Structure 1
């Protein structure tokens, strides 16, 4: 035995060397299982120099899932991330919603539920890497694809191009956002291993210089990690740029996308940036469901081919407030409040059959035990509550910004409110005087208008109904047009055309109406607070003009998640303790609104409902959602 024939000091050195080699071997074997908190060497980062990703020189595979901080209450971020980790995921991806962070030009908000730094740090604590998708455009079935509506005040605006007005705004936002994000990069000791350059630009591709601009905008502000693009079959060739790894998006794997990757980046790792686990729903449609077995077959095929994968969505969450997007491919279709997406984690964060099947599959590819997921969050079926107060819309106008007078209608974005940033969301009320009835028509209603004569409803105008009859009137009467922004388009070529309100004339018997008084009904928290001091009336029976209805939910113990239901109501918005829960509409598909426990408290909880047409008498609560009749995606 050679080791015993060596001198004592040489034996010590040799044993020490063997021990070092053994430690290094074990370290290399378990590298892929290390969490961000345990990584020590931070020199190379994520690399794509062969058919496999490497992280710090070691083979690495992305098992990712999409979770958006802006669609989930902050107190639930950790719960959702722990469930991701327990499913076998090692990476979290999220978009950044510019419109929330900069609601007015130059006024930034990264606090509370918009604290993206905290969100990323929680991911790191849980043991997840982060792939950040900062936009500036994100699609995401989110209002205007995440772009702030004040951009549309510029009459020459060309979104998602190198138009100076747009890139100046992007530069200002990136200055703020990336100054917060840079210390969280992998090479700086944080969990962010990659950034995405814009989003699915190949399907838009209005400016060949634009993607290069976004790439440089990231690099010049200190991004040192890998850059990626992502595109679906709608245009991968136009969304690819040199020096940036191309990734693909799909629900079903076709040969075209893979052959494109082989052509533009041979011998590089293949990444599915968005594997669509489900789909989103539109008002008046059906609830989309993607069959579990079919999904699992495709995911299994992706993994067998050695691809990295990101599940979009792993947890969809909710389009709280007025943040749902829309599509317009020759027909305008707004999305519903729920963004359940038929994802592995339900809207309320519950484990689904998809979750359990994915966990079994991922475990086969991971040489370590998976942690148990957190226990399910308990749900409550609170007793139904009665409506106790009513305020007609006209009684609440004293609590909004002073109206403006204008000879012609002005669209939401160009109204002189919010420090010159216009109105972004909600409703706009246009009032004028008429002295006759007749045919009222307009193709300039974006998106839906209820018309009143002396506060009595006479009809609806929208994209499909462009003419109604106004009854004959005696003398001068007030004609009111209440226009709702139902959600700006988030995808497609009509993104520049998303002005809301009355975007042109409205005609009575062929003549444009004039001399309007215009109110911005944004329904922000300060407005809801003012309603608290109003003199609420006793609820009336029969047809009512639009108005606000008040009820109180008394909770005697620790609040629990629940689902709010309004089976006898028609269309409107619900506010709970001043927070905008989202829109409801009896055309479905969804019949409930998710009400998370963090938005409730022990004691009295105020519920305010803005109803446009027909109010009910009660508010109901239940343990389970009703997402509507199903259509199976094929």
Structure 2
């Protein structure tokens, strides 16, 4: 603990004029034609040995002072069947507001093709929150993750990377045209959900942590205007790291901050930026995500409670990030760079949140419930029952298919003279490939020094024999001498695009340069796209699967059956002895497993299981384990 928690600075209130920051929902020290000034509460705050009289502005709700006690839940990281349960638990903890990102990449998976159905039904999520008496803050982006690699850059549509000269998050013509097309679909969904229209949405965030990126002074005003002209009338927010508040501020929007603690400097910066406005900690980081190969991150619940109590003592508004993290199912984990090496976020987005990845209560939850409950004039709602768990019998994987025997169940390969990256392949209506694996094949007639540049990681095969692993640093492979002509295969995996910094402009995946053998450029490639969508897994059911042998080494699919009984429940898969795998249950991708940890289990929602028999398919890159195990507790 540092002394910063006690050293606060609150500016003396002063009359302010300027552009309107607020809808009729909000009032502040600003005196607009449709608002009334809010009386400020004076208080004594210690600053060194001085105790000056100071005060600050507050939000109001229908004329009454109102503080935002928010918690983040990302609907797209939680099975739809559990939305109500998680929101009920948010309400029962004493929170009055839920905040969520809106992921562009999922809502426009292909250029011009939009999806707001099923687990992406934003309106349904917001309406459940309203039914439960919660307010909502939406964070539509178009970019929703700047300072954190917790989610793939695909939160911006991946096909924007097709043109290496495109300038993401700027007023580049191609980018803003794509934003406008997306907003033309998204904003009409959000407009009737606003408070002024009788809905629960009280505020919208303009982009996310743009002060960290800060490449175009015209960009944030453009995004703000794009929201306003389509009918957004509620409070607009910006959200930045404390050191980037000045660079991320936007006239006509309330500046908020993202941080772990409360300190004197934050108040000084916010007052310098926007005078005496209400203070909102938009992201109060109570935990953090994990990276494969690094220790599990933990945050002391006592310290988190102490900091939250300080926020409450000084009557600040805050939003807990995350209240419930959920899961980066499928290929959705992002990437980052550590010591110049690409690293990947684990599948679980547990984040040491108040609710676990599976929605279970934690010590932090009960501490916050006690803290927020002490402020409530009425008793908090009763706690919803925990989600039941089950420990299923181990599943033996009885059959397998080497990757090479599944290629004809894919779509026809692209025949190209030179290899291209994922994003520039002519598929998905011209949008390219977003995620998964990509296989490049060509014939070679001699050994020697192979030079190939991949992003992120690849395996080089001569026919079906693995020769080496490669990445952005390891680019050379010695091909042994052989007779005749043989098949050179390079299997490349997209391990997550970097979701912040200038690197996001160059996050093309696959083979990104020409390939040479002994200095000669290789040509004539068959390129297979392994997106591993559900329809591909369905086609594999008609394949002739081999009986399991212990001798197979190399990429392969393994199949078994989980018998869940009459009433399936949540569980956690363990993969003892497996090396690097993706697990599919009834065609749904649970995410990545990697023996290096820290994560050792994968969350399996019971609502994704059928009564009795359930198909398990594991795609393992190197060597299988002996079975699939189950437990009622995660190992993160």
Equivalent residue in structure 1 for 2:560, among 551, 555, 575 = 551
1:68 aligns with 2:77: no
Deviates more, 1:327-336 or 1:390-399: 327-336
Cα 1:217–1:542 change in 2 (3 A) is: same
Alignment of 1:307-346 (within 5 A): 307-328=316-337, 330-346=340-356
Q: Larger Cα Rg: Structure 1 or Structure 2?
A: 1
Q: Is 2:233 the partner of 1:253?
A: no
2:287/2:299 contact within 8 Å kept? yes
- 2:464 maps to 1:451: no
**Any idea what the Cα deviations from partners look like across 1:268-321, whole Å, max 9, x if unmatched?**
110000000100111111110011111111111122121100000010000001
Give the aligned partner of residue 363 of structure 1. Answer: 373
| Among candidates 309, 313, 325, match of residue 304 of structure 1 | 313
Which residue number in structure 2 is paired with residue 44 of structure 1? 24
State the partner residue of 1:113: 119
Shift of the 445–234 alpha-carbon distance from structure 1 to 2, 3 Å rule, reads farther
Contact 2:164 2:505 (C-alpha < 8 Å) held by counterparts: no
Is residue 528 of structure 2 the alignment partner of residue 519 of structure 1?
yes
SS at match of 1:123: helix
Aligned-partner Cα distance in 1 for 2:342–2:628: 30
2:195 counterpart residue number: 186
Whether 2:230 is the aligned partner of 1:231: answer no
SS at match of 1:386: coil
Q: Retained in 1: the 8 A contact 2:397–2:627?
A: yes
Q: What does 1:89-238 correspond to in 2, within 5 Å? A: 89-139=95-145, 141-144=150-153, 146-238=155-247
Tell me: CA distance 1:226–1:436, structure 2 relative to 1, closer, same or farther (3 Å). Answer: same
Deviations 1:600-625 (A, max 9, x none): 01021001111100112311111111
**C-alpha separation in 2, matches of 1:160 and 1:268:** 28
Instruction: Quote the Cα distance in structure 1 between the aligned partners of 2:165 and 2:471.
Output: 26
Q: Match of 1:609, SS?
A: strand
Which residue among 57, 60, 63 is the counterpart of 1:57? 63
3-state secondary structure, aligned to 1:433 = strand
Residue 465 (structure 1) shift: 2.5
**Residue 614 (1) aligns with residue 623 (2):** yes
Q: Per-residue deviation at 1:334? A: 1.1
Say if 2:171 and 2:219, in contact at 8 Å, map to a contact too: yes
Q: How far apart in 2 are the matches of 1:234 and 1:172?
A: 33
Q: Aligned in 2, Cα 1:256/1:513: closer, same or farther, shift over 3 Å?
A: farther
Residue 383, structure 1, aligned to residue 385, structure 2: no
Unaligned runs of 5+ in 2: 1-22, 30-37, 39-56
Partner SS state of residue 47, structure 1: coil
SS at 2:546's partner residue?
A: coil
Q: Are 1:508 and 2:508 an aligned pair?
A: no
Deviation for aligned residue 1:234: 4.1
Runs of 4+ in 1 over 6 A off after TM superposition: none
User: Secondary structure of the residue that 1:357 maps to in structure 2?
Assistant: helix
- Corresponding residue for residue 440 of structure 2: 430
* Per-residue deviation, 1:255: 2.8
From the two aligned structures, give the one with the greater helix fraction.
1
Correspondence for 1:440: 450
1:348 aligned partner: 358
* 8 A Cα contact 1:52 1:61, kept in partner: yes
Give the whole-Å Cα distance in 1 for the aligned partners of 2:422 and 2:216.
28
Residue aligned with 1:345, SS = coil
Question: What is the CA deviation profile of residues 166-194 of structure 1, one whole-angstrom value per residue up to 9, with x for unaligned ones?
Answer: 01001111110111111110110100000
Q: Per the alignment, in what secondary structure is the counterpart of residue 258 of structure 1? A: helix
Whether 1:465 aligns to 2:474 is yes
- Greater Cα shift, 217-226 or 155-164: 155-164
1:132, CA displacement in angstroms? 0.3
Quote the Cα distance in structure 2 between the aligned partners of 1:539 and 1:549.
8
Distance in 1 (CA, whole Å) between partners of 2:426 and 2:126 is 37
How far is the alpha carbon of 1:557 from its aligned partner?
Answer: 2.1
TM-score, scaled to structure 1: 0.90
Residue 113 of structure 1: how far off its partner (Å): 0.3
Separation in 2, partners of 1:531, 1:55: 56
Count of aligned residue pairs for this structure pair: 584
| Alpha-carbon distance, 1:145 to partner | 5.5
Q: What is aligned with 1:401?
A: 411
How big is each residue's C-alpha offset from its partner over 1:559-581, in whole Å with a ceiling of 9 and x where there is no partner? 10000111111112111001111
Matched, 1:294 2:303: yes
Q: What residue number does 1:538 align with?
A: 547
Q: Is the 8 A contact 1:137 1:145 kept in 2?
A: no
Provide Cα deviations, 1:501-557, integer angstroms capped at 9, x if missing partner: 001123323333222111111101111111111111111222323111101111222
Could you tell me how far apart the structure 2 residues matched to 1:54 and 1:145 are? 36
1:578 matched to which residue of 2? Answer: 587
TM-score between both structures, scaled by the size of structure 2: 0.90
Secondary structure at the residue paired with 2:406? helix
Q: What is the distance in 1 between the residues matched to 2:599 and 2:243?
A: 29
| Structure 2 contact 325–349 (Cα < 8 Å) conserved | yes
- CA change 1:145–1:391 in 2 (3 A) is closer
